[in-house]
Amino acid sequence: MADAPDIVDLTITNVAHGGVFVARHEGRVVFVPDTLPGETVRARLVDTRKKSFWRAEALEVLDASADRVDHVWSASAIDRDPADRAGGAEFGHIALPRQRTLKADVLSDALVRFGGLDADSPFVRTVVEPTAGDDDGNGLHWRTRVSLHVDGEGRVGPYAARSHRVITVEDLPLATSEVAAAAPLRERLDGATTVDVVLSADGVLVAVDGAARTGAVHERVGERTFSLEPLGFWQVHREAAVLLSSAVSSAVDAGRFDPAAPNLDLYGGVGLFAATLADRFGRGVRVTTVEAESSATDHAAENLSDVVGARAVTARVDRFVRSIGAERDVARYRAATIVLDPPRSGAGTAVVGELAALQPAQIIYVACDPVALARDTKALRASGYELDSLRAFDLFPHTHHVEAVAAFTRTGDRPS
């Protein structure tokens, strides 16, 4: 067989999961970043080893989509060599409303292909809602946390897209102005490897190689103050904690909520959603927040000290759920509400199956990955739960990421 040509012209047909777009070359799927459906681009084939799909990098737009805009970050723009394009803003060349319909397409596709939902299910038409303030500010200046890298010469910057090469940049337009101003983009940090810049309610801090000059920082959500480790997990968009807390609160069906049941906040971090339940249903609410990082659990205990029925447990969720499944009075969980907010990989079929075996009254699933949500949806549906509500939020403008909040109830409990 003759070698494939390096440079090809491709017509983009679709968006795929992971911030890439789909074209076909001689019948084979080719994934191409930095493009848009409807466009024709000149591209270099860069990975042709697999039989089922190849990868390419876009070099030039020959026929542009009406939704293409000047990239919000010149460091990522298509006029740069692909190897020099900064990562982390892979939708920055797309008009903001179109970014959201593309994210909705990815979510819908995942729910049908991996979640087993019918193509005509109303959840397959879920829109991706904008976050307050983003439309006015063109989706910029929302990142309260930025992780940068340092190369062997001491230069500080983000990695290039799809590589671990540090790219020096002039600005960080997705970061809040405080974070952008504090980021040491023009400094040489010889011998260092990482730089984190964090904006909390206490102000901005810069941590080189994980060393922050403070024991804890604080975040505010409504009337509540949360303490956490300077580099501990906290939702990244400046509006995210408020928005997700409100979305989780309204996803909980009050008619199915029992404040005395053994309610759970799994993958709980510093207790954000346990606090959400207490704020809606009262400080006497029984809720256990479960988190693998003991430093986060310590903060959760402090953050929930006014919630008399709250407990903070350090454990891996899989082990914790297995251990309660073995309890003698496991039937108590039939009245429980379980909130879970797993990392990008999702909870996984095993955890979801064990959760469903507890037969809780409702499960509220906060998801930062549509495919993981869809896979876990399939497992929940196979275990007697059905999707009751779904909302999606654009908490990561100019990236391909999308956040969702889904509510599930026992199939037998639903009105027929």
Ligand X SMILES: C[S@@+](CC[C@H](N)C(=O)[O-])C[C@H]1O[C@@H](n2cnc3c(N)ncnc32)[C@H](O)[C@@H]1O
Residue (of 19, 30, 293) closest to 10 by Cα position: 30
Asked if 123 is part of the footprint of ligand X (rule: CB under 6 A), the reply reads: no
Asked if 129 is part of the footprint of ligand X (rule: CB under 6 A), the reply reads: no
Only segment of 42-50, 80-88, 169-177, 268-276 that touches ligand X (CB under 6 A): 268-276
Only segment of 6-14, 82-90, 204-212, 229-237 that touches ligand X (CB under 6 A): 229-237
**By C-beta, is 41 or 290 nearer to ligand X?**
290
291 is in an annotated binding site: yes
Which member of 142, 233, 385, 393 binds ligand X (CB under 6 A)? 233
Q: Which of 106, 111, 270, 368 is catalytic?
A: 368
**By C-beta, is 34 or 341 nearer to ligand X?**
341
Asked if 268 is part of the footprint of ligand X (rule: CB under 6 A), the reply reads: yes
Using Cβ positions, the residue closest to ligand X within the complex turns out to be 269
Asked if 272 is part of the footprint of ligand X (rule: CB under 6 A), the reply reads: yes
Asked if 269 is part of the footprint of ligand X (rule: CB under 6 A), the reply reads: yes
**By C-beta, is 292 or 335 nearer to ligand X?**
292
The answer to whether 300 is a known catalytic residue is no
302 burial via Cβ count (<10 Å: 0-12, 13-18, 19+): middle
User: How would DSSP label each residue in 378-397?
Assistant: HHHHHTTEEEEEEEEE--ST
Asked if 369 is part of the footprint of ligand X (rule: CB under 6 A), the reply reads: no
Q: What does the buried/exposed string (b/e) look like for 175-192 if buried means 16 or more CB atoms within 10 Å of the residue's CB?
A: bbeebbebbebeeebeeb
Asked if 235 is part of the footprint of ligand X (rule: CB under 6 A), the reply reads: yes
Task: Map 24-70 to HEC letters.
Answer: EECCEEEEECCCCCCCEEEEEEEECCCCCEEEEEEEEEEECCCCECC
Using the structure block, give the residue that is written with the tokens 């006497």.
284
129 is in an annotated binding site: no
Which member of 91, 257, 273, 333 binds ligand X (CB under 6 A)? 273
9 is in an annotated binding site: no
Alpha carbon distance 397, 48 (integer Å) = 31
Query: In the 8-state DSSP scheme, what is residue 81?
Result: -
Name the residue type at position 104: A
Decide: helix, strand or coil at residue 349: helix
How many helices (H) and strands (E) are present in the chain, helices listed first?
8, 19
Task: For the CB of residue 250, give the shortest distance to ligand X in the complex, in Å.
Answer: 16
Which member of 293, 302, 386, 413 binds ligand X (CB under 6 A)? 293
Task: For the CB of residue 192, give the shortest distance to ligand X in the complex, in Å.
Answer: 24
The sign one gets for the Cα dihedral 307, 312, 317, 319 is: negative
Which member of 67, 298, 341, 394 binds ligand X (CB under 6 A)? 341
Which member of 292, 301, 330, 357 binds ligand X (CB under 6 A)? 292
Task: For the CB of residue 136, give the shortest distance to ligand X in the complex, in Å.
Answer: 25
**By C-beta, is 140 or 221 nearer to ligand X?**
221
397 close to 100: Cβ distance less than 8 angstroms: no
408 close to 363: Cβ distance less than 8 angstroms: yes
- CA-angle at 73, arms to 67 and 75, nearest 5°: 125
Asked if 316 is part of the footprint of ligand X (rule: CB under 6 A), the reply reads: yes
**By C-beta, is 233 or 365 nearer to ligand X?**
233
267 is in an annotated binding site: yes
Only segment of 111-119, 172-180, 192-200, 290-298 that touches ligand X (CB under 6 A): 290-298
Helix axes 96-113, 370-382, angle to 10 degrees: 30
Q: Residue 289 to residues 52, 201, 257, 327, 359: CA-CA distances in angstroms?
A: 43, 23, 17, 18, 19
Known catalytic residues are 368
Give me the residues that bind ligand X (CB under 6 A), please. 233-235, 267-269, 272-273, 291-293, 296, 316-317, 341, 343
